[in-house]
Chain A
Amino acid sequence: MQSKNQSNPSHVKGWILDLYPSGLGEFAIWIIAEDGQRLRLTDRFQPKIYVSGNEDALDRLASRFLYDRAVVSWDFVRRYAKATDVEESKVLEITLQDCRLAPSFTLRILRSGRYLQYQVFNCDLKHEQMYLYARDVFPLGFVQIEADATGLEYSLLDCADSTDYVVPPLRILRIEVEVAKEGKIAKISDPIDKIIVNQGSDKMLIDAGDEKDKLLQMVRIVKELDPDVVVTKGGDSHLFPYLVRRATINEVLEDLVLGRDDVPLVAKNTHGRTFFSYGRTYYRAPMRRLYGRVHIDERNTFILSEAGLDGLIEIARTCRVSLHTAARSSIGASMSSIQFYQAIKNDVLIPRNKSIPEAFKSAYELLVGDRGGFIYEPEVGVHDDVGEVDFASMYPTVMVNNNISAETVLCKCCPDSKLRIPDLGYNICERRVGIVPKALEPVVAKRLSYKRLKAETRDEALREVYDNRQTALKWILVTCFGYLGYRNAKFGTVDGHIGVCAFGREAFLKASRIAEERGFRVVHGIVDSLWLKKKGTTTEEYQKLCEEIGEETKIPLCFEGHYRWIVFLPSRMHPNVGVLNRYYGVMESGKIKVRGLEVRRRDTPQFVHDAQMKMIELLAEARNSGEFVQKIPEALKVVREYREKLLSGEVSVWDLIITKHLSKDVRNYKQRVSQVIAAEQLMKEGVEVSAGKNVRFLFTSAENKRYERRVKVEELIEKGTSMDVRKYLLLLYSAASNLLSPFGYSPKDIYDSVRGYASTKLA
């Protein structure tokens, strides 16, 4: 390990691991050198922010900088102050002493102009992002660095668009702490029982000595093993705050150094954030950093759970955000970073607030424009000869193909443009390519090549890597459309958002028209997927259709596969009406595809999940709809089997745990629903429960008048806690009837047939 004051080696080749502001106007960069050494380099970095306003006002502002210690220098330059501007305008470029001064300095400028005279740009980017954009490098990019007294000079030997880059071997360490609990639930006042440190297959147990020894030994081991990545479960939310607390009590806080810099862990008493997105409430703990190492909290990361470390690295490289930020931030935030990079490269300034308003629309235009994707109601029942075709990355491709971006939709420079949004007729710029399509195009292309590589490679391990990377990119593409209409997205536009849907609907309808001309019947369709039915079709026929539609719509259409049979389920309220996204079927390959059923829901207890899955697996043996109907009595036997298991007490309570999400603060619930009762039990034990968290509990007496007896939260389950058998039987019947509802089975019918009261129904 290098000490802080050592000067930079003059010449290094390696990968960028971590970076952060260190001294005043200084950045520390951790490099994994080619020879495996971990080096800490320092670079001078003074960020530039921009101010626009009328010329006199800017002059007046600049005259005050002479006495301002935050300002290093200033100049007048020409930039596109607004993305919609056709011409560059004169703006004030200010070089700041240190990137951490940007927020306060910005506020000062805004206040001095009473929030009217000046607009400030490029002022609220993350520090690492500012640095990465300015040096045009990215995390884990392979670089050659020449150092001199003034700082570092990078030559990039890598490319962010590359698909076959080398990832340096990272040393990954996992830290787990077991608490010597006094009560049933661990509290921050309970001492450490043991610490488990894992590296690869090596496992070290620290349980000797008193608490102080344990802490110090952990610090020593981490220092010796010198990991690049530290993985914890709950490091952000409770583990690190807990360690800090224990170290303080044992008076060894100064020695609690887990990063590569000689700084102890900080116990910032910051609270996490609860936020709301797409109808779900989320909770995110604040970030706990280890300088020089990447700390990943498995409980506070979306991308790692979706796409693994490969996906995380892919995101960090593509989006130019540091690894620990990429692990924690929403995909949307990472995706925006590509747009910022493109903006800076194209001399477009990044506004502090979104400044592009929505075009005025009459009520009728809103009715026409404000719509989502197109949907064909499914034909309820079991179907033979069905194939599925999907548009690959439909919305991102639409955005790239049609140049949809904040500054291009309804641009002032081409009112007579031929490129127009369907239904609304808005013009789209023909002269320049927008920032959003520029940012997206490489991602769309890269994902396609990963998918191709994944299909081509014979190496199992490599296939997984490619799959993880393409999954990570998929999430960027998924979010890019939503962000276009997001009120805080800096390059978003509602008109573009509406336009993407309109283009999407047009392509979708075109595709179904072509399919119908080729003799297919559309049995179901959702936004970018079509289920087509035609007797005796071959894969070649589908592929030809996909090619034809792909050429016509300019969006690649992929054949997902044939179904042996597929069942589209009706609405629970209206048995004759099909609902979207509730179906199950078996592909020719044997792959089972289920949507909208209990097995896919997160709150389903394992017991119900297993029973329903077993029923589906049994039905999956059927080769066609005829055999499917014959299999129904066998499927009902599964229900009977699971019923008996439950009644005879063979089912463990742990298989009956239900997970529910708290969508708001416990106090704000008007009704004592099960998750609230469970959360209150937790709070009574002194556990902090915030909106956005999950609670896991067991139904003990679901109908009990004394509501606190209805459920038992998982943490408080003891030997002898018994389940409400009736409630779980009802859940079982309801899951079974959901599968068989097109054949006329209600939960009551399932119950009757399981008890042998009624003969099996004929479909």
Chain B
Amino acid sequence: MGKTVEAYRLALDIELQAWSGFARALRTGDREAFEQMTDACRNHASAASNATRPVILEAMVMSMLLEQQKKLTKLEEELDAIKKPIQP
């Protein structure tokens, strides 16, 4: 294993390294947001690895979208909770 095809986690590290130029050019706030996105990739590495996509960016974007969707749902729920007492 890992001799012929790079393990996903290693490939991910290499890919993120390739994006370091992008990260370097970002301003502080933006860079933090970018780091959250890369953390999303790392935190869903198992699922992304199991997807076995030849283009690694596809799996990474999917991981980020998933994390975003989770955040959206959470925000929606929180918003609903705030809205309820206000509505008559």
The chain B residue with its CB closest to the CB of A380 is: B43
Asked if A376 meets B5 with Cβ closer than 8 Å, knowing A367-B54, A368-B52, the reply is no
The interface bits of chain B over 1-18 (1 if a CB of A lies within 8 angstroms of the residue's CB, else 0) are 111110100000000000
Asked whether any CB of chain A lies closer than 8 Å to the CB of B23, the reply is no
Is B1 in contact with A367, judged by CB distance below 8 angstroms?
no
B62 at the interface (CB under 8 A from A): no
A377 touches B1 (CB 8 A): no
User: Who on chain B is nearest to A423 by CB?
Assistant: B52
Which residues on the A side are within 8 Å of B54 (C-beta)?
A: 363-364, 367
Q: Is the CB of A370 within 8 A of B4?
A: yes
Q: Find the B residue at minimum CB distance from A525.
A: B46
Known contacts A363-B54, A368-B52: A577-B5 contact under CB 8 Å: no
> Assuming A574-B42, A577-B39, is B50 touching A374 (CB within 8 A)?
yes
Cα of A374 to Cα of B4 in the assembled complex, Å: 18
B46 with A577: CB separation less than 8 A = no
Q: Least Cβ distance of A359 to chain B in Å?
A: 13
Any chain B CB within 8 A of the CB of A170?
no
Taking CB atoms, residues of chain A closer than 8 Å to B44 are: 377
Query: A272 at interface (Cβ–Cβ under 8 A)?
Result: no
Q: For A366, list chain B residues within 8 Å (CB).
A: 4-5
With the chains together, A578 CA to B45 CA distance in Å? Answer: 11
Q: CB-CB < 8 A to A372: which residues of B?
A: 1-2, 7
Considering the complex, which residues of chain A in the window 91-124 have a beta carbon less than 8 Å from any beta carbon of chain B? none
Q: How many A-B residue pairs have CB under 8 A?
A: 46
Chain B residues positioned under 8 Å from A577 (CB to CB): 39, 42-43
A305 at the interface (CB under 8 A from B): no
| CB 8 Å contact bits of A468-509 with B (1 = contact, 0 = none) | 000000000000000001000000000000100100010000
**Whole-angstrom distance between the alpha carbons of A374 and B50 in the complex?**
8
A571-589 interface code vs B (CB 8 A; 1 in, 0 out) = 1001011100000000000
Chain B residues near A571: list those with CB within 8 A.
Answer: 42
CB nearest to B8 among chain A residues? A371
Quick check: A370 and B43 within 8 Å, CB to CB? Answer: no
Q: Chain B residue with minimal CB distance to A370?
A: B5
Complex: A366 Cα to B42 Cα, angstroms: 22
**Least CB separation from A577: chain B residue:** B42
- What distance in Å separates the Cβ of A363 from its nearest Cβ neighbour in chain B? 7
Asked whether B1 lies within 8 Å of A370 as measured between CB atoms, the reply is yes
With A367-B52, A372-B1 as given contacts, are A578 and B43 in contact (CB-CB < 8 Å)?
Answer: yes
Q: List 6 A-B contacts (CB under 8 A).
A: A363-B54, A370-B3, A371-B1, A375-B46, A376-B46, A505-B50
7 extra interface residue pairs, beta carbon distance < 8 Å, beyond A367-B52, A571-B42, A577-B39: A367-B5, A370-B4, A371-B5, A371-B49, A371-B52, A374-B46, A574-B42
